[in-house]
């Protein structure tokens, strides 16, 4: 499989007529791990929702392309089939659909008709990924995320990631609510995905996730745009010094998108 590229150019996004993203530029290639950090309310989750095509988020200008294809022209399910994946900050519960059924149909929707994954192969793979993520086997037969604890939901997002094997994944605060051991397990799962055919964007507030998953690029979001980019050392500096030095450097008074 050749490496994929997601290219976001000058993206502007509005919600209910209010502009939230004000010109985001970002390029993620297969093989690369990116992290986006930034204070609360600066547009990080909005970016992930816009990439996946959440109907409430209106792209007013700019472009998103995956391997030269116009993502903004695609419906949400087409984006998933094209190889985009989002682990949401707050995963939703879907009653009546078991975890296993959801996973199997997600995998099959990305395959050609007649080339569906066999039940045996599916179960074997799911069992081994669940083992790696230290998940209870009976989670497979429970309804999707229903009654899952915060940490169980996050592990389950990574189970989906590992089973669906997208080209580009966006993980929105995958570390929030995880205990120390679970954080390691989840990081191990994400690191397993490393390879030329997989690119990843991690949205996080803390260096602790990046201690386990070293990013190639770190970006800082303020005022609905990426205001600074660097390598892994940028996240270390943010952990030590916070965001004030960036605001001073760039003359930003209010970093949120509220104004």
Ligand X SMILES: Nc1ncnc2c1ncn2[C@@H]1O[C@H](COP(=O)(O)OP(=O)(O)OP(=O)(O)O)[C@@H](O)[C@H]1O
Q: Applying CB under 6 A, which residues contact ligand X?
A: 15, 20, 38, 40-46, 56, 89, 257-258
**How far apart (Å, rounded) are the C-alpha atoms in residues 159 and 129?**
7
Nearest approach in angstroms of CB 143 to Mg ion is 25
Nearest approach in angstroms of CB 44 to Mg ion is 5
40 binds, among Mg ion, ligand X, none (CB under 5 to 8 A by kind): ligand X
Which of residues 112 and 253 has its CB atom nearest to ligand X in the complex?
253
Which of residues 31 and 41 has its CB atom nearest to ligand X in the complex?
41
43 binds, among ligand X, Mg ion, none (CB under 5 to 8 A by kind): ligand X
The pair of structure tokens assigned to 255 is 């970093």
Q: Interacting stretch for Mg ion, rule CB under 5 A, among 39-47, 74-82, 135-143, 160-168? A: 39-47
Which of residues 54 and 81 has its CB atom nearest to ligand X in the complex?
54
What letter would DSSP give residue 114?
A: T
Please check whether residue 171 is in contact with residue 178, taking contact to mean a CB–CB distance below 8 angstroms: no
**How far apart (Å, rounded) are the C-alpha atoms in residues 211 and 235?**
10
Residue closest to Mg ion, measured at CB: 45
Q: Which of 44, 93, 110 is nearest to 257 (CA)?
A: 44
Nearest approach in angstroms of CB 51 to ligand X is 12
Burial of 180-218, coded b for 16+ CB within 10 Å and e otherwise, reads eebbebbbebbeebeeeebbbbbbbbebebbeebebebb
**How far apart (Å, rounded) are the C-alpha atoms in residues 225 and 47?**
9
Nearest approach in angstroms of CB 28 to ligand X is 18
The pair of structure tokens assigned to 197 is 């055919």
Q: Interacting stretch for Mg ion, rule CB under 5 A, among 87-95, 102-110, 118-126, 156-164? A: 87-95
Q: Does 45 sit near Mg ion (CB under 5 A)?
A: yes
**How far apart (Å, rounded) are the C-alpha atoms in residues 6 and 169?**
10
């Amino acid at each position: 499989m050749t490496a994929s590229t997601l290219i976001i150019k000058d993206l502007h996004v509005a919600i209910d007529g209010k502009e939230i993203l004000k010109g985001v530029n970002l390029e993620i290639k297969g093989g690369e791990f990116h992290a986006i950090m930034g204070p609360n309310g600066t547009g990080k989750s909005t970016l992930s929702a816009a990439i996946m095509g959440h109907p409430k988020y209106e792209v007013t200008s700019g472009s998103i392309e995956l391997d030269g294809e116009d993502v903004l022209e695609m419906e949400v399910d087409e984006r998933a089939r094209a190889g985009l994946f989002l682990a949401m900050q707050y995963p939703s519960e879907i009653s009546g659909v078991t975890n296993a059924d959801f996973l199997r149909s997600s995998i099959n929707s990305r395959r050609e008709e007649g080339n569906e994954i066999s039940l045996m192969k599916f179960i074997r793979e799911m069992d081994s990924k669940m083992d790696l993520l230290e998940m209870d086997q009976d989670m497979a037969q429970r309804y999707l995320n229903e009654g899952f604890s915060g940490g169980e939901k996050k592990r389950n997002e990574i189970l989906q990631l590992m089973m669906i094997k997208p080209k580009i994944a966006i993980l929105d605060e995958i570390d929030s609510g995880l205990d120390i051991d679970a954080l390691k397990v989840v990081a191990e799962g994400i690191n397993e995905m490393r390879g030329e055919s997989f690119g990843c964007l991690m949205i996080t507030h803390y260096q602790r996730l990046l201690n386990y998953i070293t990013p190639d690029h770190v970006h800082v979001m303020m005022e609905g745009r990426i205001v600074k980019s660097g390598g892994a050392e940028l996240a270390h500096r943010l952990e030590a010094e916070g965001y004030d030095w960036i605001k001073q450097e760039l003359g930003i008074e209010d970093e949120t998108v509220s104004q």
